[in-house]
């Protein structure tokens, strides 16, 4: 199957969190990633102006709350296509520490993406070794925004509204605009998170967040994350290393 660069761009997050995980050949997966990374970011000088924009201190506070420096939990991802009435759902768990993150899908098919500060790796079985998908630090940074909530303000225009715990990200660059119309990072209540069947724990420190990615075609991917613990075991640190 040959995918055009345009079709790959329009379904960026779906490619990475499902399609890429299903590609049987590491070389085929690399071709997909190379298509995504072949264009150079084009800087823009646009700005966002809104009557409901919050003071920068509010945006700064949201950035601090959304950033995950260390933690682990579960996720539910739902891909909504305009031509389908029911979203396609995948579930799994994640681990984040510093600049590294593990995004491990358990259902419907196992796959693991290992994100470092300068590369992305994947494997299709716990018995497999990780295969390099890309050594693009720039592209790794884009995924880092999604997985860790650490937003690079050089890449995104930041906006919010006074009655919301959501940060609205609008892409600045030409490449990002081909991927996304908008990304919303939100802190949500347990009740809201449970609408996506995310299981909570009894820990009062559990944090729920919802990420909505609107791609260039207007289709949405909604990722609900339950950050259930910031306590790391030796096995967690080991999971963030290539074997």
What are the boundaries of each domain within the chain?
A: 5-239
> pLDDT digit string (tens) for 33-72?
555 445 434 443 433 333 344 447 888 888 888 888 899 9
Confidence (pLDDT) at 236: 92
The mean-pLDDT minimum among 188-192, 193-197, 211-215 falls in 193-197
Helix (H) or strand (E) holding 78: strand 70-80
Where does the pLDDT of residue 11 fall: very low under 50, low under 70, confident under 90, or very high at 90 and above?
very low
Residue 217, pLDDT score: 85
Other CB atoms within a 10 A radius of the CB of residue 92 amount to 20
**Residue 195 has what pLDDT?**
61
Rounded to two decimals, the pTM is 0.72
Structure tokens at 200: 């909570």
Q: Give the mean pLDDT of the chain.
A: 75
CA neighbor of 101 nearest in space, from 85, 118, 115, 117:
115
Task: List, in sequence order, the alpha helices (H) in the chain.
Answer: 5-10, 12-14, 20-22, 26-37, 56-66, 137-148, 174-179, 190-194, 234-239
pLDDT at 12 over 50: no
- How does DSSP classify residue 117? S
Taking only the tens place, the pLDDT of each residue in 88-115 is 999 999 999 988 899 999 999 999 999 9
CA 133 vs CA 1, 13, 32, 33, 69: distances in Å? 18, 15, 9, 6, 24
Span 164-190, average pLDDT:
85
Take residue 217 and report the two structure tokens written for it: 């075609």
Q: What residues are paired with 112 via a beta bridge?
A: 104, 123
Instruction: Reply yes or no on domain 5-239 having CATH 3.10.105.10.
Output: no
């660069």: which residue's tokens? 5
């Amino acid at each position: 199957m040959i995918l055009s660069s345009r079709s790959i761009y329009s379904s960026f997050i779906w490619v990475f969190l499902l399609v890429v995980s299903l590609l049987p050949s590491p070389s085929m997966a690399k071709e997909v990633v190379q298509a995504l990374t072949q264009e150079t970011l084009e800087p823009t000088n646009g700005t966002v102006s809104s009557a409901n924009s919050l003071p920068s201190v509010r945006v700064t506070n949201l950035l601090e709350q959304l950033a995950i420096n260390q933690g682990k939990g579960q996720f539910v991802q739902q891909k909504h296509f305009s031509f389908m009435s029911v979203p396609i759902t995948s579930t799994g768990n994640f681990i984040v520490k510093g600049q590294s993150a593990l995004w491990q899908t358990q259902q419907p098919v196992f796959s693991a993406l290992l994100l470092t500060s300068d590369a992305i790796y994947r494997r299709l079985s716990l018995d497999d070794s990780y295969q390099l998908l890309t050594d693009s630090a720039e592209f790794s940074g884009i995924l880092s925004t999604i997985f860790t909530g650490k937003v690079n303000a050089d890449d995104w225009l930041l906006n919010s509204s006074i009655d919301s715990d959501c940060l609205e990200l609008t892409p600045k660059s030409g490449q990002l605009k081909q991927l996304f119309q908008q990304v919303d990072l939100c802190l949500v209540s347990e009740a809201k998170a449970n609408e996506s069947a995310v299981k909570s724990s009894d820990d009062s420190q559990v944090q729920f967040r919802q990420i909505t990615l609107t791609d260039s075609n207007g289709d949405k991917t909604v990722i609900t994350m339950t950050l259930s613990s910031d306590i790391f075991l030796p096995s967690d640190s080991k999971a963030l290393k290539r074997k």
